[in-house]
Every structure is written in C-alpha cells, then in structure tokens.
Amino acid sequence: MNTKVREIIDSFERINEFPRCSGDETAIAAWLSDWAAQNGYSHRSDEAGNLLIDVPASPGYEAAPCVIFQAHMDMVCEKTPDSKHDFSKDPIRMVTRGEWLTAEKTSIGADNGAAIALGMVLVTDPVVKHPPMELLFTVDEESGLIGAKKLPDNFIRGRVLLNVDSEDEGVFTVGCAGGIDTLMTPEFELAAVPEGYVLVDISTGGMRGGHSGIDIGKHRANANKVLARLLATAGRCCEIRLMALRGGTKHNAIPREAGATIALPGDALTAVEKQVSELASEIAAEYKATEKNLTVKFERVTIQAEEQALTGDDTGKVIAALLAMPNGVLETVPGEIGRVETSCNTAVLGFEQNQVSILVSQRSSVMSRLRALNAQVEAVAAMLGADVKTTNQYPAWPVAENASLLNRCRRVYKACFDKEPVVEVIHAGLECAVIGSKYPGMEMISFGPTMKNPHSPDEKLNIPSMGKLWDFVVALMASFKPEDE
C-alpha cells in the first residue's frame, strides 16, 4: 500500500469515528468544518446542513475554472441481525482482508466516506497542483438526495462538478435514473383471534440484499416478496389472520429479512407447515445461483389473552397487494442487453396498531416510464384502500450533449493507464441529477473507487483502486492549468 493510499484510509478511519446515518450528520459536519478552519479554508453551511469548503488555487492555476469536488456525508447504516453495533455512537471498526477494506457485521460507509477522505488528502497535499476548488459535502443523500435538493441557488460558484460517488474504478458515469418513493398506509379494524386458533411466525432471511438500483438486475431475492409468497401459500390452506409484519430497512436497499406473525386454525397447522416448507424449497431452488444462504422459518408463538389480528378478508387484501406489487427489473434499455431502464423495489414493510405500511421505491432513466410505474404502484394502493404519500422524487440525469468534461477525463485516464475508461449511465440516483437541474450550465461527471455490495453488511472497498483513483484525480487537477488548454 503506497503512502497516499495509507493516508486516505487513515482519514477514512477518522471519518468512521463519527455517527453519520442519514439525518445524523451534525458531528461529522462539525469535524469537517474544524478541519477546514485548521487548514485556513473558508467554509459555510446552508440551512439543510450541506457544507461548502473553499480551497484556493495552486500558483499558476488562479485563472482556471473552479472545480467542485462533491461527495455526501451520510451513509446507509446496515448490520447483520446478530450485530450489537450502535450506529448512533459506536465507531465503525474497519478490517483489511487481502486487497479489500471491510467492517465486522456492518456496512463500512465507503459510500461515500472514502470520497471525503480522498478530497481532504487531495487539497492538503503540497505537491498536488489544482485549480480553485469547492469541496461540497452534502447531507441526507441516501434518503433520497435530500441535501442536494435543498441547496440554495447561490450556494456554489463552480460549474465543473466531479461527483465521487460511483463504485467502479475506471468507469465514468454520465447519466443516472430518476426515482420516486411511495408509502402506502392502509388502516384496518382489528378483531379478536378466534378460539382454537394458534399463532405462527413465518420468517425469511439470509439473503444478500444490496443497492436497489445497482444490484436490482443481479437476480437477488427480495425478502418481502418471498414472504408474500409464503403467506399466500398459507392462506390457500386455511383462513389466516395477520398480527405482525416486518421486512426491509431502507428505501434504497433490497430487503434481506422479512417476517410475519399470523393466527390460523390449530387443526390446519400441520398442513400449512407442510405447504410452506415445500414452497421454501422451491424458492431456494429458484435462487440457488445467487442466494445460497436463503432461509425460511416456521415457528409456533405463544398466544396471549385477548390477542387481536386483521380479519381473514383484510389479511387476504394485504397479501394480494404484496403479490401484485411490481418488483425487480421491469424494462431494459433497448439494444443494450442487461442494462436496466426501469425497476421497482418493495422496500419496507411494517404493522403498528391497526396500520400496515408498505414502502415502494421506483426508478427509471425515462421519466414517462417512471410516471407510468408510479401510477401502477398507486393503483395497487387504491385497491388496498390505502392512503398514499409520495416522497423522495428526483429527476433523471440525462446524458449531456456537451461532453468536454468527459473528453478531458478520457484523455487524462488514457495518459495515466494507457487504456480507455468505460463510460456508462447507471440505474441509481446520483446527486448530479438534482444539482444539474438546480444550476444550469453545470458540467458533471461521476467516478470513484471500486466497491462491492454497498448498502449492506457485506460492503467492501478495493484498496488498489484507491491508488489508481488518486493518480487519476491528481493528473486531472493538473490538466486544468490555463496554458495547457
């Protein structure tokens, strides 16, 4: 590991001492502000908590265009069921395994902490030559690009933006999907559990999960949809009554675990267990190539006096809605095998008091298709009689006709590594989409180090890719010297 990569990882480790789940970035923002002041950089924050740090140009670069180095401060806080980690106070302890940096039973937050660390080392290195720069560190990106949406019109002055939030070194992203989240919350009357009924908890887990945009086309199981199939099978054997429902954790993560508590006639218990077990084997076979650890449990639960549940009819409505909800890859880009255009993620399930909640995340690089998908999701909600709330709506980032920044990056990358980079449009939301819509004339590109399994406890960062990214960014900054134009 070279000294610059070691320095970046050391800075990343320091960043990981601070809580930074989405919506909890106050401490990390304060620390970064102190770091800026200690290095003599002016800085300011907007009402949302977004932080902008002004970095003067290196000598000879004063007349170069201002370049924005942009990353987000928050992370997706995911952990395994047996982890006791408290993201609100416990530092993330990083572990090196070969060429990969990971964490014990939690997400590592390389998305996007590694980029912040890179930016800090970049601007404080006396050898690096660069134009005037703005380090733009946003808040609440993972909840739906919230911080970027709240940027004031005059907050930044640069019109060249480097978004360091992509996850494959050597790949330049020049466009992304738009998205909508839909929360439906139907309410029902509860009724006493009939005499002679028993309680059963059906749960499924062990799935890989992952990013609901980047990983949606990788044939990974959605635990909420698996649970819906298991419940539907139980409901075909006898009347069942829903008492508890849980599944998923984040709008932008494919659910890894889900479960439900149901009441059913005691004399049907054996038949239901048999049918659920048979279906579980079939589902495991469907996903044998990608979900080797998929599990299904069928467990008796002690019944308490005066237990209440949904009626059989209302339980059927909820299960039918979960079955009918679109999920996974819905459209691919014509002529580009494997590239996802439109998708849906049945993300989070809940049941509190008499209210069921279903959160569904939708994405598309074609805004008309996104609107059509959203209408389909809302139609399912209407059949369920559910109140609907639309949240986290953001536009697609269309491929720019003016590709001067892309061409510059291509030239620099080829000069550094004697090979061409890959250029792509991704099926995920990036802050470029929002920032570009707020600041007309912005030239933008996104790149980053290689990461695997973001938004999950299996997240890991490739260490050698950080070295290549460093070399590229240093050369890219040097390319902005005015007389080199």
pLDDT tens digits along 420-440: 999 998 998 899 999 999 999
> Which tokens go with 475?
């050369």
Residue 143, pLDDT above cutoff 90 = no
Does the domain made of 3-177+397-484 have the CATH classification 3.40.50.720?
no
- Residue 485's pLDDT is 47
- Average pLDDT rounded to a whole number, residues 10-17: 97
Active site residue 291: no
Residue 34 has a CB neighbour count (10 Å cut-off) of 11
Specify the length of the chain in residues. 485
Residue 303, pLDDT above cutoff 90 = no
pTM: 0.79
Q: Which of 111, 141, 314, 341 is catalytic?
A: 141
- Can you tell me the distance from the alpha carbon of 313 to that of 288, in angstroms, rounded to the nearest whole number? 34
Question: For 164-272, where are the E strands, in sequence order?
Answer: 171-176, 178-185, 190-192, 197-205, 241-247, 258-265
The CA distances from residue 293 to 206, 214, 247, 388, in Å, are: 5, 21, 17, 35
Assign residue 197 a region (left: φ > 0; alpha: ψ between -120 and 50; beta: otherwise).
beta
Break the chain into its structural domains and give their ranges. Answer: 3-177+397-484, 180-393
> Which tokens go with 411?
């030239």
SS (H, E, C) 126-179: CCCCCCCEEEEEECCCCCCCHHHHCCCCCCCCCCEEEECCCCCCCEEEEEECEE
Active site residue 10: no
- Residue 392's pLDDT is 85
Higher pLDDT, 337 or 242: 242
The CA distances from residue 316 to 154, 276, 396, in Å, are: 52, 17, 36
- Can you tell me the distance from the alpha carbon of 104 to that of 92, in angstroms, rounded to the nearest whole number? 8
- Residue 305's pLDDT is 67
Nearest to 70 by CA among 399, 440, 430: 430
- Can you tell me the distance from the alpha carbon of 468 to that of 466, in angstroms, rounded to the nearest whole number? 5
Quote the mean pLDDT of the chain.
95
CB 17 within 8 A of CB 30: no
> Where do we find the tokens 């923002």?
29
- Residue 427's pLDDT is 93
Which CATH code is given to the segment(s) 180-393? 3.30.70.360
Residue 400, pLDDT above cutoff 80 = no
> Where do we find the tokens 């991704």?
426
Residue 484, pLDDT above cutoff 60 = no
Beta bridge partners of 19: none
- Can you tell me the distance from the alpha carbon of 146 to that of 143, in angstroms, rounded to the nearest whole number? 7
- 180-393 has the same fold as 3-177+397-484: no
Residue 342, pLDDT above cutoff 80 = yes
Q: Which of 24, 25, 74, 142 is catalytic?
A: 74
- Average pLDDT rounded to a whole number, residues 160-171: 96
- Residue 54's pLDDT is 98
CB 185 within 8 A of CB 359: no
CB 33 within 8 A of CB 51: yes
